[in-house]
């Protein structure tokens, strides 16, 4: 094919209507944001992370109680449980926020810090139980 139509098709149709670049530029971004499936993917990611934290907590308890019950093991198990519960509460708050509106607000610094601290502390507790 020759001509303008052949040139547009040879590039895979990446341009927008009328030859405009895909994405619409700054004017389209200012007009409004279409989140599409991003909130759903984010909700699923929070659920997967919560499930991973649950597995870590359960394996930590199993490792702590494998050689017998000791006061230190019980203390670390209780700490793992509290950290897991803290992360679960943060995740559920975020999941509810994502479910409420079509364009959810950004994650607050307070919730992000709490999620990171719970995750890192849970990993430290679990590794202490394994060693």
* Per-residue pLDDT tens over the stretch 14-38: 444 444 444 444 444 545 666 677 8
pLDDT reported for residue 118: 86
- For residue 13, name the pLDDT band (cuts at 50, 70, 90): very low
Measured distance between the N- and C-terminal CA atoms of the chain, rounded to whole angstroms: 68
Of 2, 110, 95, the closest CA to residue 49 belongs to 95
pLDDT reported for residue 32: 65
- For residue 101, name the pLDDT band (cuts at 50, 70, 90): confident
Of 35, 42, 53, the closest CA to residue 114 belongs to 53
> What whole-number distance in Å separates Cα of residue 58 and Cα of residue 50?
12
């Amino acid at each position: 094919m020759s001509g303008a139509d052949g040139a547009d098709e040879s590039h895979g149709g990446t341009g927008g209507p009328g030859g405009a670049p895909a994405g619409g530029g700054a004017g389209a971004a200012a007009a409004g944001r279409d989140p599409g499936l991003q909130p759903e993917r984010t909700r699923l990611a929070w659920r997967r992370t919560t499930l991973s934290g649950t597995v870590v907590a359960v394996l930590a308890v199993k490792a702590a109680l494998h050689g017998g019950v000791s006061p230190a093991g019980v203390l670390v198990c209780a700490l793992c449980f509290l950290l897991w519960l803290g992360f679960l509460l943060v995740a559920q708050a975020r999941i509810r926020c994502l479910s409420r509106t079509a364009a959810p607000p950004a994650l607050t610094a307070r919730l992000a810090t709490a999620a990171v601290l719970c995750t890192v502390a849970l990993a430290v507790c679990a590794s202490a139980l394994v060693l």
